Every structure is written in C-alpha cells, then in structure tokens.
C-alpha cells in the first residue's frame, strides 16, 4: 500500500479523483434539490460527441481541448432540453432522455470513425466512455484540479445566493437576484463538473458521482449546509478509496470502483442514517408501538 502511495502518478490520480468527488458531491446536492438528477446523466452522455469532435479537429489528445469540446457539446444538449421543453408538449424528463440517447449514439458513431483514423486506436478516446483515470498524466490532473477547485469556490462564495435560488426563488427575485443568471451559472458549474470527470469515471458513470453522494447525505441531515459538506466528504472518500482499490490490482478500472465505494456509503446511509434511515425508522416505529401498548394498558387499568 505504501509503495502505491509513493508512486507519483498514483498520488496525482488519487488527488484528482478525490477533488473530483468533492466537486461532484457539492454540485450533486444542487441537482438533487432542483430535482434534475437525470439532467446530470443526460449532459454527461451529451458531452461525448464534443470530446470526439475536438480530437478529430486537433488530431491529438489534449485534455483541456477535449474538455472544452465536451463542455460545448453538453451546453448544446442543455439548451436543446430547455428548448424542447418550452417549445413543445414534451416533458422535461422525456426531453432529457431524447438528448441523452441521440447525443450518445452520435458520439459512439463519431468514436468509431475516430478509431479508424490514423492514431485513433492509440488515442485512448475509449477511456471517456468507461473512464481511465490511470492513463492521466500530470498536466491532465492539474487541469482537473484547477477546474474542480473553481467549481467548489463558486459554490462556497455564493452559498447564500444558491440557497435562495434553490429554496425560495420568488424571494430571491424580489431582492434583485437574477434567476436567469443563477440558472445559467448552475448549468455552467454542472457541465464543468461533468466534463472534468469523464476522463476519470467515463460518461456512463459520471452521473453516479453526482447523484449517490447527495442522496447518501440526505439520510443524515435536514440542513442544506451540512448536506453539502457530507456529500462532498462522501464523494471525496469514494474517489480516494476507489482509486486506491483499483491501484492495488493490475489494470483494474478506477471509475467503477469509485462508484461501488459510493454505493457502499449509500447502503450504510440508507440503513443507519438518522433521517429516515431504515434502522432508525424501525426503532422509532417499535418505540411508538410500545408507547401505544403502554398507554392502552394504562387506560385499561384506570378503567
């Protein structure tokens, strides 16, 4: 274990996946309260065509350029979801499903073309589907770290505004807060978090990085602030633990292990969480049942 940690590449990958988990957990809480968990899944799949198009244009695997391409593609997907919802009778969930399927199918088609081109098979583009954190070099990690820290910083400095935007939009509008501007900023940080994570965990599993920590945290608290902190901790620990587990084996995928560890946190939260956890709910039910029986016996004795 110590030799793995001392490996410079493993250390950088560990730092990047942990930071990614923190950022994903933070943004995932906002997606949870906006009831847009499917949006993160749709946008992560919508990012794939942008990655491949960026590669085809520059002819090399430059993570920053690929991230920019992914971000543009995901933003187009977000715009199409909004446009379809407002310009037709199609529900938002249906629009998300359509965009997810169409963009992902288009991305796979482009990926097939790219892999048949010169150097395509050696580019490692397939890693963006399932994730390939071990293939990241130091410059890739630094790019991820900087963007993830920017996302966390934006949420931190505007925490009060985010809280108003999510829970009391009318009051926020009344005090002069631009809901359109906040919605644009929310979409931007969501897309940024998604595109920086697809190299590590892939477009298929990136949604789980956003959803699982937030849902897990919800079982422990009713406070939005504590929920964000817990979600960030769960995401960071899942990223670090999943990376360490995958590093112990040869060629083990990092993304799936991160998601499995996150799922483990969810199971623990589901059972032991003090807010509607199964065990706590069962104990409260039994206590209530016992109190009712005690009250019934007392009334019988008094009667």
The secondary structure of 16-68 as a DSSP string is: HHHHHHHHHHHHHHHHHHTT-HHHHHHHHHHTHHHHHHHHHHHSS--HHHHHH
Please give the residue range of the domain that contains residue 60: 2-293
Whether 143 is covered by a domain: the verdict is yes
| pLDDT for position 302 | 63
Whether 9 is covered by a domain: the verdict is yes
Q: Which two tokens stand for residue 182?
A: 């906040």
Whether 128 is covered by a domain: the verdict is yes
| pLDDT for position 299 | 65
Whether 127 is covered by a domain: the verdict is yes
Whether 236 is covered by a domain: the verdict is yes
CATH at 114: 1.10.3470.10
The model's pLDDT over 187-222, given as tens digits with 9 standing for 90+, comes to 999 999 999 888 888 888 898 999 999 999 999 999
Whether 299 is covered by a domain: the verdict is no
| pLDDT for position 250 | 67
* Of residues 302, 69, 41, the one with CA closest to residue 194: 41
The model's pLDDT over 239-296, given as tens digits with 9 standing for 90+, comes to 999 988 888 876 677 888 999 999 999 999 999 988 778 888 888 878 878 888 777 7
Whether 267 is covered by a domain: the verdict is yes
The model's pLDDT over 81-102, given as tens digits with 9 standing for 90+, comes to 999 999 988 988 899 999 999 9
Whether 302 is covered by a domain: the verdict is no
Question: Helices 8-33 and 179-218: crossing angle, nearest 10°?
Answer: 110
| pLDDT for position 298 | 72
Tell me the CA distances in angstroms from 166 to 72, 173, 177, 277, 282, one per residue in order. 25, 12, 12, 25, 32
Least confident of 13-22, 80-89, 121-130, 288-297: 121-130
Could you give the number of structural domains in the chain? 1
Between CA 294 and CA 303 the distance in angstroms is 14
The model's pLDDT over 226-242, given as tens digits with 9 standing for 90+, comes to 999 999 999 999 999 99
């Amino acid at each position: 274990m110590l030799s793995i940690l001392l490996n410079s590449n493993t250390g950088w990958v560990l730092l990047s996946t942990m930071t990614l988990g923190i950022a994903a957990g933070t943004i995932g809480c906002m997606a949870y309260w906006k009831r847009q968990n499917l949006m993160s899944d749709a946008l992560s799949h919508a990012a794939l065509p942008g990655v491949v198009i960026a590669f085809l244009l520059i002819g090399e695997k430059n993570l920053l350029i690929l991230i920019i391409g992914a971000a543009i593609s995901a933003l187009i997907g977000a715009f199409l979801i909004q446009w379809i919802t407002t310009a037709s009778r199609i529900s938002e969930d249906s629009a998300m499903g359509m965009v997810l399927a169409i963009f992902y199918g288009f991305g796979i088609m482009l990926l097939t073309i790219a892999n048949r081109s010169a150097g395509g098979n050696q580019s490692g583009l397939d890693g963006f589907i399932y994730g390939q954190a071990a293939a990241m070099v130091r410059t890739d990690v630094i790019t991820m770290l900087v963007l993830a820290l920017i996302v966390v910083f934006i949420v931190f400095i505007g925490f009060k505004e985010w809280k108003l935007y999510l829970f009391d939009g009318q009051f926020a509008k009344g005090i002069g807060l631009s809901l359109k501007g906040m919605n644009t900023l929310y979409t931007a940080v969501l897309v940024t978090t998604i595109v920086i994570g697809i190299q590590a965990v892939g477009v298929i599993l990136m949604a789980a990085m956003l959803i699982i920590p937030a849902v897990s945290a919800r079982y422990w608290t009713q406070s939005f602030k504590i929920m964000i902190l817990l979600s960030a901790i769960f995401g960071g620990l899942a990223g670090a633990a999943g990376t360490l587990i995958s590093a112990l084996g040869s060629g083990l995928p990092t993304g799936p292990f991160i998601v499995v560890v996150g799922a483990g946190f969810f199971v623990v939260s589901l059972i032991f969480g003090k807010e509607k956890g199964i065990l706590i709910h069962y104990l409260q039910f039994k206590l209530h049942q016992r109190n009712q029986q005690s009250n019934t016996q007392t009334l019988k004795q008094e009667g």
